[in-house]
Structure 1
Amino acid sequence: MQRIALRYLGLACALSALPLRICATQNEDATASRAPRFLLAMAERSTPVPVDLKRSAVLRRPLSIAFDGAPIKQALAEISRQAGLSLVYADDVLPVEMTVSLRADRITVAAALTDVLLDAGVDVVFTSDGRATLVKRPPGPAVQLGSIAGTVTGGETGTPLVRAVVSVVGTSLTAETDASGRYVIGSVPVGTQRLRARMLGYAPVDTSVVVAEGQESVMNFQLKAQAIELQAVVAVGYGEKRRENLTGAVGSVSSEALEARPITNTMAALQGAMPGLIVQRYSGQPGVEGFNLNLRGVSSVPQDKDKLFDANGGNSPLVLIDGIPGSLDLLNPADIQSIDVLKDAAASIYGARAADGALLVTTKRGTRTAPVFTYSVNSAVTKLTGMMETPNNYQMAVMDNEANIHAGAAPMYTPDLLNRVRAGDPNPIPHPLYAGLGWMLFFTNTDWRKAVFENGFEQKHTLSVSGGGQNSSYYVSAAYADQNGVIRYGNDNNRRYQLRLNYDYDFSRRIRLESRLAVENQDRSDMGGVKSDGVIVETIFGMPNHPIYTENGQHFFAQGGWRNAVAYAKDAATDAFATRGVNTNFKLIVEPLDGLKLNVQSGVNYRSNDNTDIGKSDPLYRWDDSSIVYYSIATPDQNWVDRYTSTTLHRNYVGYAEFSRTFADRHALQLMGGVSHEDDDVDWFQAGRANFSNQDVWGLNLGSTG
């Protein structure tokens, strides 16, 4: 069907010398029953009322159109686009074979719709929200509109699904479910409509519903959970890419890989999780594991020749947390959404500091749903492993005899003495060689490792809540971790307290603010003056023929220059190491044009350390408690206190623009340019005093400098 605009017919009438007024009258009479009516549906009226075309800004808006045999749906889409009008209709409302031929400049929306919809047998009905619906013209004045309502629930549990989308197929009529899973779609053309309900993580469901005039049709949905495969998106330098579009060596670690391990440190979670990423730890002590990361192999000479992968040698990759340089040591693993590792030239955009690769950490974001609370608890038992075997007293005596024989001397342990050692005789004798020095020869055996070591225990509790609304989302988490070391009696523990708030807000479709706030505290303790590693070394090399206590059990025993590991653990003062951190991160994203994004980001990280090391003097006694043989850790005139405090303030400012465009659905163009600025303020103070007369109070002003 071909049609020419009526204004050209009017021009033909004028050229044939007929009066213009008569021609217009003939046109009005001829088209009165063929043109669409513009009506307004009102809640307080049972029937719609005509729209005043002179007062409708939308219908008076000028357009420029050129249709040459275009399908009617294509013509309506172009008119809707230029007018900014939401126009909906069912597939069976318009004749599919109908075409339009119309060229006009500055034609009004009302005139264009009148020309295009002439003889279509439809009316244009506006609702209070500004939406226009094409409905078949009824025989009377009533408008054929109805509504659809119902609920969407999970098929297995019957739980209401929030923010599920229900739409009328073939139209732009959609609605989202509320907190109770209910939806309502108004202004639906009458007749049989195809209805579809869908939600991420569930299989979509289609069904048919009959919409009656002026009535609400009820249709409830039950959706079944369905595993879906999302497009893999990984973080790259100042942006994201789909994995199939990557050309560099980029690896990823998901949150599932981190949460599946009972650990309190993010670096410990990375061990074995990423091919090519070497994670080394030089200690098992809580809080000072000495983790080092290596991504590209040895690239410079380390400060310690025995630690080829030590970060101090310049081989550690750059770590960025939500785009801001940071550290993984105090970051809560439960707050991490993903870690993307840039192994090759992809990291070069960050400059020389990323010469050994980059780790891009993305923390979790909120979901725009009702609040969801999550609580998790992890616990673990730690044990010392890889310890070398140490000889017992009898083995030590045999080796002592063999050493004397090889040196050309007589064996010290006679057969009788060896039998007493084997039997564990509790009665010592003066030492055959060093009795003059007050030494004793003991026949009992001391298992120093059993006396000093025990199993450690660690636990971690995390509570988080995630939710949001139409324009915002939030993620709040709190975590507490407690690690107890493996040294019995000693205070070698580590406690961490972590808080995080991630809040995103959309001011509009083109303006978005992302904010991050994290508070990280760590309180660690150790054995003053000797540290945990000193206790471990003394335990391993402790003499198996030396008892722990003196004869009456009141004091710690020692002789021959050997120390006492249990005395270290029990009597050493407690060192305290407090670390406090506050990290802020704000990012504003503006999209002035489709495909063009402007990003402005500011991050400020604050960290403070307050450390106290105490070297306490503790006496060790002879077997008979007759005198002090020497002191553990320090002599009374050399006991000490060292205090160290520091603060670091790191500021980072980044601004960059991104432009992306896809041509012919096959060729993608991406451009990025920007500028960044960073600076640090570091302040530290260290002081020490010695010769404290009172070992119960360790104030710096109570000691001396000499």
Structure 2
Amino acid sequence: MKLASFLFKECQGTNRFKKLVLFAMFGLFAVHAGFSQQRVSGTVTDEQGIPIAGAAVMQKNTSNGTVTDFDGNFEITTTESNAVLVFSYLGFVAQEIPVRGATINVMLKEDLQQLSEVVVIGYGTQKRADVTSSVATVKAEDFVQGNVRDAAQLIQGKVAGLSVSAPSGDPTEGTQISLRGISTLSSGGSNPLVLVDGVPGSLNTVAPEDIESIDVLKDGSATAIYGTRGTNGVIIITTKKGTNDMKSTIEYNGYASLATIADRMDFLNASELREKFNEGYTFTGANLQDFGDDTDWVDAITRDAFSQVHNIIFRGGNSTSNMTASINYRDIEGIFLKSNNEKYTGRINVNHAMFDNKLKTNVGVILSEQVYNALGDGDSFNPYIYRQAIIHNPTEPIRNEDGSWFERAVYFYDNPVSYIEETFGENRYRTSRIDLSMSYDFGDHLTVKGLYTRKGETNIRGFYQTKNHVSTTENGQGGFASRGTDNYVGNYGQFTVDYDNSFGAHKVTALVGYNYEDNMNEGFWATNRRFPTDGFTYNNLGSGQGLQLGEGGMGSYKNADKLIAFFSRVTYNYDDRYLLMASMRREGSTRFGEDYKWGNFPGISLGWRIDQESFADNWDWLSNLKLRTGFGVTGTNAGARYQSLSGLTYGDYFLNNGEWVRQLVPSRNANPNLRWEKKEEFNVGLDFGILDGRINGSVDYYNRTTKDALFNYSVPTPPYFYGSIAANVAQIKNSGLEFLVNVTPFQTENFQWTANLTYSTNSNEIVSLSNDEFQLTNDFFDQGYTGEPIQIATHRVQEGQPIGNFFGLKSVDITDDGIWIIERPDGTRVPATEATNDDRQVLGNGLPKAYYSWNNTMKYKNWDLMFNLRGALDYQILNFSRMFYENPTIGYNTLDSAYDLVYGKAVLQDVQRFVSHYVEDGDFLKIDNVTLGYTLPKDAVKFAQTFRIYASGLNLATFSKYKGIDPEVNRDGLAPGNDERDKYPTIRTFTLGINFTF
């Protein structure tokens, strides 16, 4: 049968196309001996009668065997008259059948537990049954479908303990990720390490449609082998690849998508503002008067955004080589005008084996170019524009009668439409990656592997505000232009020696290796003003006169660092019952002090497969029961380069002997003791499976302690060179529980329902922030910022308290004349006008204490339905929009709710303040992803082996008491839970797509 026919049958109704890229075709040659030989032939199929290609057919207790062809047919000559044939295939239960005739037809049954048997771990793979650490795997058929941001959104809600959110609707922004909470004080230090086919990369290195599976290493024993990179977990992305003897196939995935604002805050429209005028309200600033128009300013700067994605993958191979080539095109519109994002990604991967498969080589190339509009200097989104739209007087026109922009002389008040239309900007971001690898099997269970990767990134940016732009007309500066380029080059090398052997009931693997990595960044920027024409935009900076008048600027930079590591790992399996994994990594970084450039990161884990014990032989209901425990030490590399070295920078000019001389001033203290943050993590877990695996899952408890956490401390000058220093002082604790349950409630010939439930908790505590050498003035420091006009911190990080605490005034009532009443920490109450900073207290916490999800997949004949629910519990959000605009006294447009009675007593008449009234519960439940698909029958389409059409929605509905746009807000850093007033609103997307293979 032709490949097209086979592949369609293989996919029809079973969604098992992934198996075609998982198995490696292998040849087994029959051993001919003796007069008792018998030729046997037949067909191997699945439960639906669809032929299985590549199934192994072995004569039991011999090396005599073969594999089925692409139509499931086999032929074998046995060497004994009483021979027994063993039929097996990945993901199916093996069968043993005695030879009693010349024909044997076999139907293999799926083994649901074995479908995810092999998982990717650090520098290799391991059988799921042998894994002793906390590791999760998500296959392509379980990915979130639709217009996803990056690879992380594919597994949103799929992995217990992994939080993936998209708090911004900006098409150039990715997701926010947190695995097992926050373990550091460093900015941006909570992101997991991302590996793409074994090489450090990003969640955007390859297109989501190009990914075969994603593995998540969660606990310290699993990630210790990655040292400083593994402290926040490891996400391992495996791309789709061809296999040997795979006939050529072309797979197309494409979709069109429509995005809308998920929700809007209710600001006064024109008719509502006029009602307030009629009710006797008087205003200053923006709403001073009725200008006679009716403008929806948010509508004027937004749109329903249309996007399209196309992905084509070619795969094929022969007995010694295979190749994969793909190209991906993404044209993603943002909901704001001029927020387009276009990206091309191409990937080629070639494998070749020589010398009887002993020598294997691989060449891989990944290239991409992304072009997007910039409404800010270097940024796709300018939050100031959105803020202007929501606070603008709805009775104002967009333009004057003469066609010029309508502008008014109000503080921080500009026409948002003109801001967009008079701005031109573009960022062009290019990446390249070349992988070269080679492995040689020396026999005697020994394999040597080498890998080299060269990575490059270039960002060319330009930005221009015209001569009519309000920011230039107000200052009479005749246009503003900016130009810049950023370049990155990195080299990555890896060398490993693998050993794998069995001695009776003993199975041993060993790995030793070496890593080398260097990174170099450089760039420049320049700005100018006062241009003779807008025609050049940012492409002729020299034509502006601003440089001569001291209004231009320029700068450049260059920095570099290196990372070197030696690592090893040993695994031991005794009788498939008792398991051990131990690893060690010694890593050196140029970012640390002279005396602490090297660190050691050990890891160890143990496993006990209880179901394999003799006392469990009669537990027929039990298919898996494994106890795991592990301990590992990981680190955090210093966030900024050169922190261990003293620094000087250029300051002001001074007159010396009639000449102006620019002085050098200190910018950084040296710290030769700057070293790794070290995170020690203990994990204990239980894997279980009952009823032949129809119910299976895991439970994990973890406890983390981060020691020597980095933070900048104020120091006296003298004796210090500069007023602050980066030092290893703080200690943080982090712990939690994770539950995962997979269930198959129904499974019949035509209908199957599988469900996945996750639940995870997390809590943390700042144990200490000071030591004998470096101390804070108090046992706390403040983080977050409200902005004008309130101008106060929103969070406090304090010893004995968790990260994420809101810290402000606790409002409990309001006076008859509309002034907040504040409850002090001692319980007494005063008007807000008498409250001081000493009256502030903890008002809540911006980090959820628990996350949960419920993922479902249903299949009925050719139909498939997937729906995912996801939520978070026990956390608070500071609603900036209400804090700033739910107040009728301000000089800008207000929320409708600004005129409601507070506590049922009075309309607010106080100034804008950060009080607990605006700290809201954030608990939510989302209908996150719903996908309905249909696979066409074979006779309905002639040109393709498979053809599927589907409709999908993302972020479809949210159930929450939170009054803002979306309760899934920014949770990064030390000020989580701040719902900024001018952030890019979250979006809701609807997608229609097709997948086919031919």
Question: What TM-score bracket applies, with the shorter chain setting the length?
Answer: 0.5 to 0.7
Give the Å deviation of 1:375.
1.4
- The corresponding residue for 1:134 is 34
- The corresponding residue for 1:375 is 252
Identity over aligned pairs, percent = 24
- The corresponding residue for 2:344 is 497
- The corresponding residue for 1:298 is 182
**Unpaired segments ≥5 residues, structure 2:** 1-27, 550-998
Equivalent in 613, 619, 628 of residue 463 of structure 2: 613
- The corresponding residue for 1:701 is 542
- The corresponding residue for 2:927 is none
Q: 1:378-418: CA deviations, max 9, x gaps?
A: 333222134321112343345568786xxxxxx68xxxxxx
Query: Quick check: 1:472–1:503 contact (8 Å CA) kept in 2?
Result: yes
- The corresponding residue for 1:276 is 161
Equivalent in 153, 168, 171 of residue 286 of structure 1: 171
CA distance in 1, matches of 2:65, 2:448: 32
The 1:225/1:378 distance shift into structure 2, 3 A limit, reads farther
Higher strand fraction (1 or 2): 2
Q: Look up the SS of the partner of 1:683 in the other structure.
A: strand
1:563 paired to 2:404: no
Query: Quick check: 2:434–2:453 contact (8 Å CA) kept in 1?
Result: yes
CA distance in 2, matches of 1:245, 1:362: 20
Q: Look up the SS of the partner of 1:567 in the other structure.
A: helix
Query: Quick check: 1:585–1:603 contact (8 Å CA) kept in 2?
Result: yes
1:336-347 matched pairs, under 5 angstroms: 336-345=211-220, 346-347=222-223
Give the Å deviation of 1:300.
3.1
1:216-295 matched pairs, under 5 angstroms: 226=110, 229-230=113-114, 232-258=117-143, 260-289=145-174, 291-295=175-179
Give the Å deviation of 1:245.
2.6
1:687 paired to 2:536: no
Aligned residues: 507
Query: Quick check: 2:320–2:357 contact (8 Å CA) kept in 1?
Result: no
Equivalent in 518, 528, 544 of residue 366 of structure 2: 518
- The corresponding residue for 1:669 is 508
Give the Å deviation of 1:262.
3.1
- The corresponding residue for 1:656 is 496
Query: Quick check: 1:259–1:333 contact (8 Å CA) kept in 2?
Result: no
1:366 paired to 2:235: no
1:66-77 matched pairs, under 5 angstroms: none
- The corresponding residue for 2:273 is 396
Query: Quick check: 2:454–2:492 contact (8 Å CA) kept in 1?
Result: yes
Give the letter aligned to residue 235 of structure 1.
V
The 1:236/1:515 distance shift into structure 2, 3 A limit, reads same
- The corresponding residue for 1:11 is none
Give the Å deviation of 1:441.
4.1
Give the letter aligned to residue 564 of structure 1.
N
1:551 paired to 2:401: yes
Query: Quick check: 1:315–1:356 contact (8 Å CA) kept in 2?
Result: yes
CA distance in 1, matches of 2:119, 2:40: 41
Query: Quick check: 1:253–1:273 contact (8 Å CA) kept in 2?
Result: yes
Query: Quick check: 1:261–1:269 contact (8 Å CA) kept in 2?
Result: no
CA distance in 2, matches of 1:195, 1:225: 16
The two structures, once aligned, show a CA RMSD in angstroms of 3.7
Give the Å deviation of 1:648.
1.1
Query: Quick check: 2:144–2:153 contact (8 Å CA) kept in 1?
Result: no
Q: Look up the SS of the partner of 1:637 in the other structure.
A: coil
Give the Å deviation of 1:284.
1.2
Query: Quick check: 2:269–2:394 contact (8 Å CA) kept in 1?
Result: yes
- The corresponding residue for 2:934 is none
CA distance in 2, matches of 1:347, 1:196: 38
Give the Å deviation of 1:611.
0.9
Q: 1:159-198: CA deviations, max 9, x gaps?
A: 7x65455566786554445567666657x77989877776
Give the Å deviation of 1:235.
2.1
Give the Å deviation of 1:153.
7.7
CA distance in 2, matches of 1:678, 1:603: 9
Give the letter aligned to residue 587 of structure 1.
S
Query: Quick check: 1:528–1:614 contact (8 Å CA) kept in 2?
Result: no
Q: Look up the SS of the partner of 1:538 in the other structure.
A: helix
Q: 1:235-263: CA deviations, max 9, x gaps?
A: 22222222333332222332223353431
Give the Å deviation of 1:551.
3.1
- The corresponding residue for 1:326 is 201
- The corresponding residue for 1:82 is none
CA distance in 1, matches of 2:241, 2:280: 68
Q: Look up the SS of the partner of 1:248 in the other structure.
A: coil
- The corresponding residue for 1:506 is 353
- The corresponding residue for 2:328 is 479
Query: Quick check: 2:209–2:253 contact (8 Å CA) kept in 1?
Result: no
Which of 375-384 and 166-175 deviates more?
A: 166-175
Equivalent in 483, 496, 512 of residue 643 of structure 1: 483
- The corresponding residue for 1:101 is none
Give the letter aligned to residue 696 of structure 1.
G
Give the Å deviation of 1:224.
7.0
CA distance in 2, matches of 1:334, 1:87: 38
CA distance in 1, matches of 2:256, 2:29: 59
1:579 paired to 2:429: yes
The 1:207/1:476 distance shift into structure 2, 3 A limit, reads farther
CA distance in 1, matches of 2:363, 2:167: 36
Give the letter aligned to residue 255 of structure 2.
N
Equivalent in 311, 314, 328 of residue 462 of structure 1: 311
CA distance in 2, matches of 1:546, 1:456: 26
Q: Look up the SS of the partner of 1:611 in the other structure.
A: strand
Q: 1:202-223: CA deviations, max 9, x gaps?
A: 7869696867xxxxxxx69586
Give the Å deviation of 1:460.
1.5
Give the letter aligned to residue 376 of structure 1.
N
CA distance in 2, matches of 1:340, 1:156: 30
Equivalent in 527, 534, 541 of residue 384 of structure 2: 534
Give the Å deviation of 1:649.
1.2
The 1:210/1:221 distance shift into structure 2, 3 A limit, reads closer
Give the Å deviation of 1:555.
3.0
The 1:652/1:532 distance shift into structure 2, 3 A limit, reads same
Query: Quick check: 1:596–1:659 contact (8 Å CA) kept in 2?
Result: yes
Give the letter aligned to residue 260 of structure 1.
Q
CA distance in 2, matches of 1:572, 1:207: 81
Query: Quick check: 1:87–1:134 contact (8 Å CA) kept in 2?
Result: no
Q: 1:69-94: CA deviations, max 9, x gaps?
A: xxxxxxxxxxxxxxxxx997xxxxxx
- The corresponding residue for 1:120 is none
- The corresponding residue for 1:348 is 224
The 1:446/1:632 distance shift into structure 2, 3 A limit, reads farther
The 1:376/1:440 distance shift into structure 2, 3 A limit, reads same
Higher helix fraction (1 or 2): 1
CA distance in 1, matches of 2:426, 2:251: 33
Give the Å deviation of 1:226.
4.5
**Bigger relative contact order, structure 1 or 2 (CA pairs below 8 A, ≥6 apart):** 2
CA distance in 2, matches of 1:538, 1:677: 49
CA distance in 2, matches of 1:503, 1:242: 26
**Unpaired segments ≥5 residues, structure 1:** 1-85, 89-130, 137-144, 212-218, 304-310, 405-410, 413-432, 620-629
TM-score (norm 2): 0.46
Q: Larger Cα Rg: Structure 1 or Structure 2?
A: 1
- The corresponding residue for 1:91 is none
